[in-house]
């Protein structure tokens, strides 16, 4: 159970190797049989106990050999080098599902299906996200490059606008869906996909899970 009071409001840019919409969002099996993802976060306002989290940027890489619920996954947390030691430890705790009610958010859920947590890495992270325009990127030199843009109509080339609401979701309440790509370099988790699912979301998380407006 949660013991430390915490809360944060953040922007999320998620990419994965599945087709647009990501079957996981609909309780379906992954497009290619496995699941691989890279997600970037920027906390705009938040705290973990007495530690302010405003401005902290971090990224996470995940991989499962099959569907997520089948387990045997691995995860890697990367925290921007501008974060203090206290902030890094706070993000690590949240990433490992600590101080959170069981199953309340995606980090807590993943602790049940991740066998390997690689040691946290600290590096400079460039993060940009325009949620309304569905455009953004996050990158760590030599480690990960991830970008997103609107899904395009295959006939006209015009942006295709898709918004999905999950009233009881453990990641977000509402997200803008997009087209993403990600490639890794020096990383314990190898990623290489393009023209696949991405989404942007404004997150508000607490120990009991996302706040649903």
Q: Supply φ then ψ for residue 31, to 5 degrees.
A: -55, -45
Give a yes or no: residue 179 inside a domain: yes
Cα gap 62→116, rounded to integer Å: 10
Domain hosting 77: range is: 6-207
**DSSP E strands: which ranges in the chain?**
6-16, 35-48, 51-52, 57-64, 73-80, 114-123, 126-130, 135-140, 144-149, 151-152, 159-160, 162-165, 174-184, 192-206, 209-210
Give a yes or no: residue 111 inside a domain: yes
Q: How many domains does the chain have?
A: 1
pTM: 0.96
List, for residues 35-83, the tens digit of each pLDDT value. Answer: 999 999 999 999 999 999 999 999 999 999 999 999 999 999 999 999 9
Give a yes or no: residue 212 inside a domain: no
Give a yes or no: residue 1 inside a domain: no
CB contact at 8 A, 15 and 182: yes
Give a yes or no: residue 177 inside a domain: yes
**Residue 1: per-residue pLDDT:** 46
């Amino acid at each position: 159970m949660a013991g430390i009071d915490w809360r944060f409001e953040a922007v999320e840019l998620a990419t994965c190797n599945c087709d647009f919409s990501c079957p996981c969002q609909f309780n379906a099996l992954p497009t290619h049989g496995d699941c691989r993802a890279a997600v970037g976060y920027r906390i705009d306002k938040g705290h973990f106990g007495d530690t302010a989290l405003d401005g902290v940027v971090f990224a996470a890489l995940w991989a499962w050999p099959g569907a997520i619920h089948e387990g045997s996954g691995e995860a890697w947390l990367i925290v921007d080098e501008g974060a203090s030691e206290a902030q890094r430890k706070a993000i690590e705790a949240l990433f490992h599902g600590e101080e959170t009610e069981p199953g309340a958010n995606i980090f807590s859920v993943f602790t049940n299906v991740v066998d390997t947590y690689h040691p946290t890495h600290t590096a400079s992270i460039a993060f940009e996200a325009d949620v309304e325009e569905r455009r953004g990127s996050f990158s760590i030199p030599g480690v990960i490059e991830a970008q997103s843009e609107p899904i395009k109509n295959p006939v006209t080339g015009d942006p295709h606008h898709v918004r999905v609401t999950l009233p009881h979701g453990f990641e977000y309440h509402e997200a803008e869906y997009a087209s993403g790509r990600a490639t890794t370099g020096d990383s314990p988790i190898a990623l290489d996909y393009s023209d696949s699912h991405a989404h942007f979301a404004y997150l508000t998380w607490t120990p009991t899970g996302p706040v649903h407006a």
